[in-house]
């Protein structure tokens, strides 16, 4: 069985402090970070022990994880496991990148976000160029605030053409978005429109809870990050018995890491094996 896991442990700290960030608003103590490390190591060991399944794993931390060595180590170990198809992570790309050389790069992917208020474009771009040179698969992206337009346009010009640059729609701001701004974002990200929707999900079949699960540091399983109901714990012997066909109980789903599992959208046809790191199959390098 192939299972996609979105892992979100207890890490909630970050070296940036973006105004629009809904989490990562504080630093954590050494004791708190030690708990996150221990939980992550337990998770990696559990993946290793469950080699009867195939896994694709995306780390979606509530903070910046790659500045912590234990996340780098986790990616190194996971990408070396023959039954792990993909190990990917969301990151602000501020970390040193030497560790990627210890990964099996065919199984590694990064979802890198540029935060113009916290890092210079040149610095983010340098990290992207380094990833590209090191043959690491990654998407880059920016939160779609109109005030970032100049930086976004410049980043698009400066990034290698074969790197996909996504724009995250700020859902609450969409009603105020001018046609000009919307056209601009579409010109940068041909799939921007996909991220501007609140997809009807109630009653619709979703792979979340069947072949995709959300897991926290204690091993608690939920179908996704958006439905709090527990569906088991990966550290129970019979954990996989809880995976079954399910229809969504939320009215809508509007986040890439959720709606890509909504079956009627068929977004696997758009993203293929790049669904976790958000790289579309047919991304045409810009001219």
- Measure the CA–CA gap between 277 and 124, rounded to whole angstroms: 18
Instruction: State in angstroms the smallest separation of the CB of 204 from ligand SF4.
Output: 7
Question: 3-class DSSP state for residue 88?
Answer: strand
Which of these segments, 28-36, 237-245, 248-256, 266-274, binds ligand SF4 (CB under 6 A)?
A: 248-256
Instruction: State in angstroms the smallest separation of the CB of 205 from ligand SF4.
Output: 9
The size of the interface with ligand SF4 (CB under 6 A), counted in residues, is: 24
Does position 262 bind ligand SF4 by CB under 6 A?
A: yes
Does position 109 bind ligand SF4 by CB under 6 A?
A: no
- Measure the CA–CA gap between 134 and 98, rounded to whole angstroms: 9
Residue from 62, 58, 52, 57 nearest 9 by CA: 62
Which of these segments, 39-47, 176-184, 256-264, 269-277, binds ligand SF4 (CB under 6 A)?
A: 256-264
User: Which residues of the chain form beta strands (DSSP E)?
Assistant: 2-8, 54-59, 84-91, 108-114, 137-143, 165-168, 199-200, 212-216, 220-222, 230-233, 252-253
Which of these segments, 18-26, 48-56, 149-157, 180-188, binds ligand SF4 (CB under 6 A)?
A: 18-26
Which of these segments, 39-47, 145-153, 253-261, 264-272, binds ligand SF4 (CB under 6 A)?
A: 253-261
**DSSP code of 196?**
G
Instruction: State in angstroms the smallest separation of the CB of 224 from ligand SF4.
Output: 3
Strand partners, 140: 112, 165
**Residue closer to ligand SF4, measured from CB, 149 or 204:** 204
Does position 258 bind ligand SF4 by CB under 6 A?
A: yes
Residue from the set 3, 11, 14, 81 that interacts with ligand SF4 by CB under 6 A = 14
Which of these segments, 30-38, 166-174, 228-236, 246-254, binds ligand SF4 (CB under 6 A)?
A: 246-254
Residue from the set 250, 263, 268, 270 that interacts with ligand SF4 by CB under 6 A = 250
Q: For the purposes of burial, counting CB atoms within 10 Å of the CB of 162, is it exposed (0-12), middle (13-18) or buried (19 or more)?
A: exposed
Instruction: State in angstroms the smallest separation of the CB of 132 from ligand SF4.
Output: 21
Cα 20–21–24 angle (5° rounding)? Answer: 155
- Residues in 188-227 that interact with ligand SF4 by CB under 6 A: 201, 206, 208, 223-224, 226-227
- Measure the CA–CA gap between 94 and 96, rounded to whole angstroms: 7
- Measure the CA–CA gap between 169 and 274, rounded to whole angstroms: 19
Does position 92 bind ligand SF4 by CB under 6 A?
A: yes
Whether residue 170 contacts residue 18, with contact meaning beta carbons closer than 8 Å, is answered with no
**Tokens for 234?**
């990966």
Cα 270–272–274 angle (5° rounding)? Answer: 105
- Measure the CA–CA gap between 204 and 188, rounded to whole angstroms: 31
Does position 253 bind ligand SF4 by CB under 6 A?
A: yes
Question: Which stretches of the chain bind ligand SF4, using CB under 6 A?
Answer: 14, 16-18, 21, 24, 63-64, 92, 115, 201, 206, 208, 223-224, 226-227, 248, 250, 253, 258-259, 261-262
């Amino acid at each position: 069985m192939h299972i996609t896991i979105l892992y979100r442990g207890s890490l909630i700290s970050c070296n940036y402090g973006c105004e629009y960030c809904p989490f990562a608003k504080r630093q954590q103590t050494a004791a708190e970070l030690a708990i996150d490390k221990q939980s992550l190591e337990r998770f990696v060991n559990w993946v290793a022990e469950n080699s009867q399944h195939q896994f694709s794993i995306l780390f979606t931390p509530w903070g910046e994880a790659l500045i912590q060595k234990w996340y780098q180590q986790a990616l190194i170990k996971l990408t070396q496991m023959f039954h792990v198809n993909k190990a990917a992570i969301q990151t602000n790309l501020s970390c040193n990148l030497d560790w990627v050389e210890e990964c099996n790069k065919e199984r590694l992917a990064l979802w890198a976000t540029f935060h113009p208020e916290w890092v210079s474009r040149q610095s983010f771009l340098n990290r992207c160029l380094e990833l590209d040179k090191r043959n690491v698969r990654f998407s880059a992206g920016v939160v779609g605030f109109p005030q970032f337009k100049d930086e976004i346009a410049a980043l698009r010009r400066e990034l290698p053409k074969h790197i996909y640059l996504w724009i995250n729609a700020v859902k609450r701001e969409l009603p105020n978005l001018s046609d000009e701004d919307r056209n601009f974002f579409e010109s940068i990200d041909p799939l921007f429109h996909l991220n501007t929707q609140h997809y009807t999900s109630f009653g619709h079949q979703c792979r979340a809870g069947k072949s995709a699960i959300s897991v926290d540091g204690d091993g608690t399983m939920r179908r996704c990050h958006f439905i709090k109901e527990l569906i088991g714990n990966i550290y129970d012997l019979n954990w996989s018995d809880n995976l079954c066909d399910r229809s969504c109980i939320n009215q809508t789903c509007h986040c890439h890491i959720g709606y890509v599992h909504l079956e009627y959208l068929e977004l696997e046809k758009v993203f293929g094996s790049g669904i976790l790191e958000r790289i579309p199959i047919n991304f045409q390098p810009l001219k």
